[in-house]
Structure 1
Amino acid sequence: MLLLRSARPVLSTLGVFTLLLAGRSNGNAAEPAKPVFKDGEAQVVKAFEDSDYWIRHDLWVETEFDSDGDGKLDRMHVSVTRPRQTESEGLKLPVIYNSSPYYAGTGAKGQEYFWNPRQELGQAPPERKHFGPVERTGMRPIISKRHEKDWVPRGYVVVHSSSPGTGLSQGCPTVGGDNESLAPKAVIDWLCGRADGYTTPDGDETVTADWCTGKVGMTGTSYNGTIPLAAATTGVEGLEAIIPVAPNTSYYHYYRSNGLVRHPYGYLGEDIDYLYDFIHSGPEARRDYCDCNVRDEEMLKQFDRVNGDYNDFWAGRDYLNDLEPLKAAVLMAHAFNDWNVVPEHSVRIYEALKAKGVPTQVFFHQGGHGGPPPIKMMNRWFTRYLHGVENDVEKDPRAWIVREKDKQDKPTSYPDYPNPDAEPVTLYLSAGAPEPGSLGITPTKDQGTETLVDNFSFDGASLAQAEWTEHRLIYTTPELKAPIHVSGTPRITIKLASSKPAVNLSVWLVSLPWNNDKNAKITDNIITRGWADPQNRNSITESEPLVPGQFYEVSFDLQPDDQIIPKGQQIGLMIFSSDKDFTLHPRPGTELTIDLDATSLSLPVVGGEETLGKAF
């Protein structure tokens, strides 16, 4: 039974003995180092700070699955970083665990490897070009040094692992498949003494985690934030708390939207098969098997890039469907201007977990992709659930939101999200095309119809600023006399007709006039956005082609938001077809006609209709 193995021993046995002797004074032994808590937070302990005396070692944990078809259970590569006192003094500590498919390097980037967005709707796309095998990077025993400086000095062991089919971990990457939930479960089982760890990927010399208290927390950002949620959905014992940051909680919601093929911002043409190639840095011996069985037979045959419908393939990669076993305390973190992993990913899980009754909080900020909660919030969360310190974190406000202009570590607390004082207000359209029409709380009858012409050549920002164009319809409120606080998920109902059997539908909610300062970001004027396929008006699982010229009612949610729109701005509802930065790019010319009397926006406003009306 091997207790410690390191490719580069960080601290020798003689070194430990010397340090212990140095800690004696006047014949009295120094007090053993242990975690220290103040005001409900784990404090930095001087004896844990010096990274030169941290113990690092790596191992392979055996899982319960064989995803690469070699007849043997897959083993995951794991690295451990822990204070020397876990060896010299028998100190047991809880674990902060992070897992990722990215640690060993990733594949080629570039538009030439994405799907060509110049695709006619409802037709098969041209084939995608694949790049060569990913070359693994990094040296053992260190997989990653992320999180070490934050947590090891505060009395935690930090553990990293490479996910299946990446780095030195065996198996196939499946991008949300069951093995990506069961792999971190196996590592947690090993940390808690229920699974086997080995010194090599194929040997039988075992490693134990006798320095672990049996309490594990997980965190990470983006894909690395998805994996903590995936692990928690297994209900694994010992996983006490997770902090997912900008997690992808459904690959359908990442690559599709209400039946529409939609790409993450900045990655036009990316789809799930590209992400598979991008992370597949695992052992070369099984790459052909994985490519054939996972990418070609499963993904390419089932992901439906023609219709964009939700099916069993996507349902199996939607963690909302797997929450029943989850019991870990969950602190979600996301940004309202994250157009890579859009905010609904966290909001949908947060709402489900509240209903389930597990301890839950949420942190939002106004920036882009990523951005963890302040270290104080994370520390209180892990201190409570991993060290067992009764700091009443579960009694803290449920929602923490960084307000506009505030620093990331200065969020404002609210009883919940959405703001409990928010009420849906219905806004109605008045004609104006090709110039802006108006948007107000009083319906205007007999408005008739207005028509736009699809043309992906114009991006959304240009369309929103245009004084006159046939390529969008836009409706604006009066200039606000007072700030308006939007909190929750807006919903659009549109009655429309298309000149073709299929058409993209894009909706932006914007704040005008546009800020064209050279230091401004496009998100300064984006309140929220949404996309849908009118063919999926009745179900996201089944497309129904449109009869050209016939009107249909389409209702769908825009992305959740919490934003204070300042005095002097106008709220603008923009309806257009192809979104240059997100959707497919069909040949321009499709006409989209809107019935104004039957179209409306439901906007969640703090203070409701009375407050909004006074601001007009």
Structure 2
Amino acid sequence: MLTTAVAVIAGLGATTVPASAAPVAPAALRSDPIYSYANAVRETVWVDTGLTAPNGSRVRVATDIIRPREATGRVPVIMDASPYYSTLGRGNESQKKTYDSAGKPVQFPLHYDNYFVPRGYAVALVDLSGTARSNGCVDVGGRSEIASAKSVVDWLNGRASGYTSATGSTTATASWSTGAVGMIGKSWDGTIANGVAATGVDGLKTIVPIGAISSWYDYYRASGATFTSGSPAGLAQVVENSAGAANCGSVKTTLTSGSPSSGDYTAMYRERDYVVNAANVKASVFAVHGLNDLNVKTINFGQWWNVLPARVERKIWLSQTGHVDPFDFRRSVWVDTLHRWFDHYLLGIDNGIEREPASTVEQKPDVWKDDASWPLAVSPTTVRLRPGTTAGVGTLGTTAPPAGSTASLTDNRTSSYDWINNPTTTSSARVIYRTDALRDDVRISGTTQITVTATPSQSAARLSAVLVDYGSATIRNYRTTGEGIRNLTTRTCWGESTTGDSACYLDTAANTTTVSQNIIARGWADLGHYAGLDTRRTLTAGTPYTITFNLASTDQLIPAGHRLALVIGSTDTSFISSAGTNPKLTIDLSKTTLRLPLVGSL
């Protein structure tokens, strides 16, 4: 059972612990499972987004809700707005929504309903516009998708209209809701949470974006370079329903025209850049990201975190996995932490979580480090590249190179995974600069920025830069299936189950491998965007150009005895497309610097 103080909160929907409540240790202040999951109300409400679909119909989004029937007061809402409920599914086991013969929701993917509904929460799973049972179009993070979730927050607060069917006129109200909403989700789902938070909508109390995008430009582009991972219109086709496929051709045309191969930052991308509106964020933020996420690159969490207003209470978890949910890499601690986070921000329980360390980082498999804040580096260390006696091989440190020092490479369209091999020998595809063996552990915590001055031999060129940790280490095997985790044959249960919706999930464990070198941060750029991202410029062969771009945000411990290296190449075929040429690039070392978020000294 709940403690007396918390039971009052759950029953009345209050936002603070009553002053008269007897003192209780923070660990005991938590919602307990006092409501029946089997008897919960399961319903669908179609919420009007205020937008019109291309066929002239009003866009309504299907919102499947499960809430405790016995609650005598109003309850807060945990929301996951997703395009995947009828296509790829959610979670490690790709769960999809299911319905009975009358259309009533049966399976709510993931454990949020099983665990939190008995504890006095409602869970709302929203089909984004143009997906599953919602009408409208998939616009890949644009106005319609943000409205899909924002309108539900508004409906839960009495500011939008909801209906009992997709096209009917019978209204539905959320008289059972306190109006306090927490949005959560991995990948596209968490991206929508970021976007809705950037509107500043009232009632959104917290977001938990997991492996989420903060700018769709940075999902498909990197400082003008084009990733090879697909296109916005292609992604829309993966998740759209049959009505969207039939009626939304104009939307996909807009996505395609707004994402030119030039790599320009267009109006289409600006609409989908939540970083530019981060000043509007009022909700608390609990960000989670895999430091080896090669799908949603880590620049997305780093730039979002850095521009959040100072008033925003926040917490961050950074794992050594790839694109993986914390439920699958640190399950018991995650469920407990998330429970206390929602209890605090949605039920108003003073459990002290906002006063705990704001940063938790996995430094090696299943070894975690807490810190008071993130990033740790207060200001960047300027690092320089000095030539050595072997062509294209040199030293990384704080000493400037001799004036006029240069190094050359040719775009032979290979991979950074190849470039980092044989670090002491010349390679025509890259140049490499390494520190001496480190005397002490150092930590790179934040976002690295590089400025390169390069002279191309042709009219277009790409640049790639990677930071490498040279030294033996056991790491999560993030480049294989599972991206650092493996499924076990056992299951554990997290909440209550019913027929058709089990709370029991496959257990997982770390999947590890031993390496002698590991790329810890990556960055790419198109040299033709040296003057800005709005327009790609044609280069003049033989003319030097200077460009500054970011490498992926990271937090890595480099042990004593290891070496840290910077490798510069051109087209990194594992990630970006070529500029259509094979130029030679001459790097001016005296005008090339690395600003490293370093804790310690090289």
- TM-score norm. by structure 1 comes to 0.80
Is the CA contact (8 Å cut-off) linking 1:433 and 1:473 kept in structure 2?
A: no
Secondary structure in structure 2 of the residue aligned to 1:465: coil
1:413-432 matches, cutoff 5 A: 413-420=370-377, 423-432=380-389
The answer on 1:452 being equivalent to 2:409 is yes
Supply the distance in 2 between the matched residues of 1:63 and 1:588 (Cα, whole angstroms). Answer: 46
2:281 maps to which of 326, 330, 337: 326
Determine the structure 1 residue equivalent to 2:152: 187
The structure where strand makes up a greater share of residues is 2
1:107-506 matches, cutoff 5 A: 138-139=98-99, 140-142=103-105, 144-146=108-110, 147-263=112-228, 267=229, 270-281=230-241, 283-284=242-243, 287-291=245-249, 293-296=250-253, 298-305=254-261, 307-355=262-310, 357-372=311-326, 374-407=334-367, 411-420=368-377, 423-434=380-391, 436-446=393-403, 448-456=405-413, 458-466=414-422, 467-506=425-464
What are the Cα deviations for residues 550-593 of structure 1, in whole angstroms up to 9, with x where unaligned? 11222222111111101221111111111111111466742111
Supply the distance in 2 between the matched residues of 1:337 and 1:436 (Cα, whole angstroms). Answer: 26
1:72-111 matches, cutoff 5 A: 72-86=57-71, 90-106=72-88
Secondary structure in structure 1 of the residue aligned to 2:520: strand
Supply the distance in 1 between the matched residues of 2:65 and 2:30 (Cα, whole angstroms). Answer: 21
1:220 offset after TM fit, Å? 0.5
1:420 offset after TM fit, Å? 4.8
Supply the distance in 1 between the matched residues of 2:389 and 2:239 (Cα, whole angstroms). Answer: 49
Supply the distance in 2 between the matched residues of 1:235 and 1:279 (Cα, whole angstroms). Answer: 27
Supply the distance in 1 between the matched residues of 2:33 and 2:342 (Cα, whole angstroms). Answer: 20
Supply the distance in 2 between the matched residues of 1:76 and 1:387 (Cα, whole angstroms). Answer: 26
Paired amino acid for 2:590: D
5+ unaligned residues in a row in structure 2: which ranges? 1-6, 12-16, 18-23, 90-95, 327-332, 478-511
1:160 offset after TM fit, Å? 0.5
Secondary structure in structure 1 of the residue aligned to 2:301: helix
Supply the distance in 2 between the matched residues of 1:531 and 1:203 (Cα, whole angstroms). Answer: 50
1:38 offset after TM fit, Å? 6.6
5+ unaligned residues in a row in structure 1: which ranges? 1-30, 108-135
The answer on 1:39 being equivalent to 2:26 is yes
1:322 to 1:588, Cα distance in 2 relative to 1, 3 A: closer
Supply the distance in 2 between the matched residues of 1:221 and 1:213 (Cα, whole angstroms). Answer: 25
What are the Cα deviations for residues 240-262 of structure 1, in whole angstroms up to 9, with x where unaligned? 11111111111101101111112
1:507 maps to which of 435, 441, 465: 465
Paired amino acid for 1:475: Y
1:521 offset after TM fit, Å? 7.2
Secondary structure in structure 2 of the residue aligned to 1:490: strand
Secondary structure in structure 2 of the residue aligned to 1:413: strand
Determine the structure 1 residue equivalent to 2:584: 591
1:204 offset after TM fit, Å? 1.6
Secondary structure in structure 2 of the residue aligned to 1:402: strand
1:239 to 1:523, Cα distance in 2 relative to 1, 3 A: farther
Paired amino acid for 2:278: L
1:154 offset after TM fit, Å? 2.5
Is the CA contact (8 Å cut-off) linking 1:235 and 1:327 kept in structure 2?
A: yes
Supply the distance in 2 between the matched residues of 1:201 and 1:287 (Cα, whole angstroms). Answer: 18
Supply the distance in 2 between the matched residues of 1:342 and 1:383 (Cα, whole angstroms). Answer: 30
What are the Cα deviations for residues 128-155 of structure 1, in whole angstroms up to 9, with x where unaligned? xxxxxxxx98434337332212322322
Is the CA contact (8 Å cut-off) linking 2:470 and 2:516 kept in structure 1?
A: no
Supply the distance in 2 between the matched residues of 1:594 and 1:33 (Cα, whole angstroms). Answer: 63
Is the CA contact (8 Å cut-off) linking 1:174 and 1:180 kept in structure 2?
A: yes
Secondary structure in structure 1 of the residue aligned to 2:309: helix
Structure showing greater radius of gyration is 1
Supply the distance in 2 between the matched residues of 1:595 and 1:242 (Cα, whole angstroms). Answer: 44
Supply the distance in 2 between the matched residues of 1:231 and 1:179 (Cα, whole angstroms). Answer: 11
Greater mean deviation of Cα atoms: 390-399 or 561-570: 390-399
Is the CA contact (8 Å cut-off) linking 1:384 and 1:393 kept in structure 2?
A: yes
Greater mean deviation of Cα atoms: 415-424 or 233-242: 415-424
Supply the distance in 2 between the matched residues of 1:577 and 1:489 (Cα, whole angstroms). Answer: 21
Determine the structure 1 residue equivalent to 2:500: none
Supply the distance in 2 between the matched residues of 1:522 and 1:275 (Cα, whole angstroms). Answer: 34
1:403 to 1:154, Cα distance in 2 relative to 1, 3 A: farther
Secondary structure in structure 2 of the residue aligned to 1:228: helix
| Number of matched pairs | 531
Is the CA contact (8 Å cut-off) linking 1:223 and 1:248 kept in structure 2?
A: yes
Paired amino acid for 1:309: D
1:603 to 1:234, Cα distance in 2 relative to 1, 3 A: closer
Is the CA contact (8 Å cut-off) linking 2:29 and 2:349 kept in structure 1?
A: no
1:399 to 1:211, Cα distance in 2 relative to 1, 3 A: same
Supply the distance in 1 between the matched residues of 2:267 and 2:208 (Cα, whole angstroms). Answer: 28
Is the CA contact (8 Å cut-off) linking 1:496 and 1:595 kept in structure 2?
A: yes
Supply the distance in 2 between the matched residues of 1:148 and 1:413 (Cα, whole angstroms). Answer: 29
1:148 to 1:171, Cα distance in 2 relative to 1, 3 A: same
Supply the distance in 1 between the matched residues of 2:175 and 2:474 (Cα, whole angstroms). Answer: 59
RMSD: 2.7
Paired amino acid for 2:340: R
1:538 maps to which of 511, 531, 534: 531
Supply the distance in 2 between the matched residues of 1:32 and 1:397 (Cα, whole angstroms). Answer: 29
Supply the distance in 1 between the matched residues of 2:377 and 2:472 (Cα, whole angstroms). Answer: 30
1:73 offset after TM fit, Å? 1.9
Is the CA contact (8 Å cut-off) linking 1:502 and 1:534 kept in structure 2?
A: yes
Secondary structure in structure 1 of the residue aligned to 2:460: coil
1:573 to 1:399, Cα distance in 2 relative to 1, 3 A: same
What are the Cα deviations for residues 75-134 of structure 1, in whole angstroms up to 9, with x where unaligned? 111111122313xxx342111111100101159xxxxxxxxxxxxxxxxxxxxxxxxxxx
Aligned-pair identity in percent equals 31
What are the Cα deviations for residues 211-256 of structure 1, in whole angstroms up to 9, with x where unaligned? 2222111100110101112222232222111111111111101101
1:370 to 1:278, Cα distance in 2 relative to 1, 3 A: same
1:546 offset after TM fit, Å? 1.2
Is the CA contact (8 Å cut-off) linking 1:486 and 1:562 kept in structure 2?
A: yes
1:375 to 1:478, Cα distance in 2 relative to 1, 3 A: same
1:197 offset after TM fit, Å? 1.9
Supply the distance in 1 between the matched residues of 2:76 and 2:551 (Cα, whole angstroms). Answer: 40
1:397 offset after TM fit, Å? 3.1
Supply the distance in 1 between the matched residues of 2:587 and 2:9 (Cα, whole angstroms). Answer: 70
